[in-house]
A and B are shown apart, each in its own frame.
Chain A
Amino acid sequence: MTVREAVPVEAGAAAGSATAAAGTTPGTPPGKTGRPTGRATGGPRRRPFNRASRWEVALLVGPALLVFLAFVMFPVVIAAYYGFFSWQGYGTPTDVVGLRNYLTILQDPTFQQALAHNGTILVLSLVFQGPAAIGLALLLNRKLRGQSLIRVLIFVPYVISEVVVGTGWSLILQTNGAFNGLLENLGLGAVAEDWLSNPDIAIWTLMVIITWKYIGFAVILFLAGLQGIPEELSEAASIDGASFWQIQRNITLPLLGPTLRIWAFLSIIGSLQLFDLVYIIWGQYVSSTAGTSTMATYMVANGRNAGNYGYGNAVAVVLFVISLIIALVYQRFILRRDTQGALTDKGNTE
C-alpha cells in the first residue's frame, strides 16, 4: 500500500490531466483517417504509421486490460451488487436485503465513530504534516553538506512497511515500553501515559505515528516542487530588497501551490483509506474503544472477520462513495486551478 500512495503523486496530477485529455480526444477523433491535424493535445504526431492495426493493439493492451478488468473493475462492480445481499460468502447470494445493509451501516454508531475518526485524521494530517513538511523543505532547499543523506534518512520511515512500523511503535508505546522508560530516565515519569489505550490520547498517538511515517514523503515532494522553481525569481526579489521570509511567502509558496494541492489530495485519500497502521497497532477490536477505528477497519471487522461478506461489500461501497465524492469535490474546486494556468491567476490572491 505504501508505494501505491507514493506513486499517485503523478497519478493525482495525471489523473486530472488524463480526464481532461480523455475529454478532448474523442471530440476530435484521430481515428482511422489518421490526419495529423487532429492531434492538438498529443503534440505533433506526423509519423507514417498512424493507422493502427487492431491486432497489434489487442495484443499489446489485451493482457493488461484483462488483468485490470478482472482484478480491479470487476470486484468494484460486484461489490456494489453483493452490497444488496445478506451473504456469508458461500454459494450464490440469494437473500436480497435491498438497502438494509446501507441503512444499518449509516445508523450504526460504531460506523459513525469510525467516520468521525477518519475525518479527524484527515484534518489533523493536513494541519500537522503540511506546515511541518513545508518548513522542512524550505529549510533543506539549499546547498547543505550531506543533503542527499539527509533526504534519504528523512525518507526512511516511509519505505518501512506499515507492519514493521506498527509492531515497532506498539512495543515502544505500550505502558511499560521504551517511550515511558525514556521519560522515566529523563525524570519525567509523571508524564508517562497509556499512549495506546487511553481513548483521550490514542488518536493523537496515531497522528504522531502517521506524521512520522508519511512526512518524509511530503518533504521529498515539496523539495522536488521547490527545485522546479527558477532560482532567478528569488534572486531578482532579493536584489530588489525582499527579505528571506518575504521571498518564501510571496514567491516560493504560491509557486509551490500545485505541488501542495496534489500532496493534500493524496493525504486526504490516504486518510480516508487508512487501515494497516490502525489494524496492526490496535487490532480489530481495541481500535473502536481506543477511539482510533477507521471505516476500513470497521469494514474488515464487520465484513470478513464477522463472516458477513454482503455487509462488508456494502461498507466498501460506502467507503468508496465517500472517497469519490470528496475526491471529485476537491478536483472540481481546488485541483482545477492547476489545470488553468496556476501562475497567472494567483499573483493577486496570495
Chain B
Amino acid sequence: MSAMSTISGMAPVTAPRSSTRLRPGTPIAYAVAVVVIILMLAPVVFIIIGGFRTNSELSVDPAGLPAVWNISNYVDVLTGGVFWGEVLNSVIVALATTLGVVVLGLMASYVLARYSFRGRGVLYALFAAGLMFPMTVAITPLYIVVKNLGLMNSLGGVILPQIAFALPTTIIILVPFLRAIPDEIQEAAFIDGCSRLGFFWRMVVPLATPGVITTGILAFIASWNSYLLPLFILNKPAIFTLPLGVQAFSSQYSVDTAKVLAFTALSMIPALLFFAFFERRIVGGLSGAVKG
C-alpha cells in the first residue's frame, strides 16, 4: 500500500505523458483508489490470514495477525479428501456446462444470425425471453423436472439446467457477434464451393473465438459459484460441489473457525486464479457488450 501512495506523488509527472485529459486531483484519485481497494480486499485477506491462525488466537483477538503462521489448517483441508472430491465435482460441472453452452449456443446463434427463415424473430425473442426467468424463479418446478427425469443427486441434473439458463445470455452475446462477420467472407466461401455447414465449421467457429471465450468464461464462473441449483439437486455429500461443500464444512466444523476459514480460502482460489488469468476477457467482454 505504501508503494501505491508513493506512486501518487509521482503522478503529476506521468500525467501529461500520453493523455490530454485535463483532470484535477490525481493524488486524490490514487488515495480513493487505495482506500477502496483496502475495503474490497480486507475481508478476503482476513479469510486467508485467519486460516493461518489457531482458534484460541481467533477468539482472543479475532482481528489480529497470526503469532506463528501455522499451516496445519490448510494442510488438514488439503489432505482431507473432502476438498478434492468437491473440487473435482465442481470442475466436472463447470467444464461440462461451459462446453454445452458454447456448443449449443454457437450453433443456435449461427442460425439466428445468418439464416433467414420464417419464425426466426420469434425464436430469437423466445431465447431472449429466457432472461426474464432467473433460476431463482424457476427453481422449485425445475427441481421437480430434474427429479422426474431421474437426475437427482447426479451432476447431470445440475449441468443440463445450467446450460439451459446460460443459453439466453450466450445467444444474445453471440448473435450480434456472428452477424458482424462480413457477408463478403461468406460469399467468397460460397463461391469457392463451401456449403453452409462447411462455412460454419471452417469460418464461423474460428472467427467467433473471442466471443465464444467471453461467453465460455462467464458460464464457467457462474457454474463454479452456483449455489441454489446444487442445493436443490445434490443432497449427498459425496457429490457436493464446492459451494455446497463450503457451507457443509462451515456448519460441520462451526467451532473450528480457523479450519473453516482455511477451507473457504482454498475454495475461492480457483475462481480468483481463473479470473486473474482471464480478467481482460471478462472486463473487455462486459465493456464491449455495453458499448455494442
Q: Which residues of A contact B (CB under 8 A)?
A: 1-4, 6-15, 18-19, 21-26, 29-32, 34, 39, 42-50, 52-54, 56-57, 60-61, 63-65, 67-68, 70-76, 78-79, 82, 89, 136, 139-140, 142-146, 148, 150-157, 159-165, 167-169, 171-172, 176-182, 184-185, 212, 216, 220-221, 223-225, 227-228, 231, 234-235, 238, 244, 259, 262, 269, 273, 275-276, 280, 296, 299-300, 303-304, 309, 312-313, 315-316, 319-320, 323-324, 327
Q: Mark B1-15, 1 if CB is under 8 A from A, else 0.
A: 000100100110011
Main secondary structure of the interface of B (DSSP, over half): helix
**Closest chain B CB from A302 CB (angstroms):** 10
Q: Is the CB of A71 within 8 A of B132?
A: no
**Closest chain B CB from A87 CB (angstroms):** 9
Q: Is the CB of A10 within 8 A of B21?
A: no
A-B interface, 4 closest residue pairs, ranked by CB to CB distance from nearest: A10-B289, A161-B225, A25-B121, A224-B287
Question: Which of B61, B183, B290 has most chain A Cβ within 10 Å?
Answer: B290
Q: Is the CB of B137 within 8 A of A273?
A: yes
- Given A25-B120, A82-B144, also A320-B131 (CB < 8 A): no
Q: Is the CB of A72 within 8 A of B246?
A: no
Nearest B residue to A21, CB-CB: B121
Apart from A48-B187, A161-B267, A212-B40: 4 A-B pairs, beta carbons within 8 A = A1-B135, A4-B166, A60-B107, A299-B140
Q: How many A-B residue pairs have CB under 8 A?
A: 396
B40's partner among A29, A34, A43, A154 (CB-CB below 8 A) is: A154
- Bound-state CA distance A85–B243 (Å) is 33
Size of interface on B: residues with Cβ below 8 Å to A: 133
Query: Which B124-169 residues have a C-beta within 8 angstroms of A?
Result: 124-128, 130-145, 147, 160-161, 163-169
Q: Is the CB of A159 within 8 A of B141?
A: no
B264: interface (CB < 8 Å):
yes
Question: Which of A178, A280, A304 has most chain B Cβ within 10 Å?
Answer: A178
B32's partner among A23, A70, A139, A269 (CB-CB below 8 A) is: A139
B112: interface (CB < 8 Å):
yes
A154's partner among B36, B112, B122, B170 (CB-CB below 8 A) is: B36
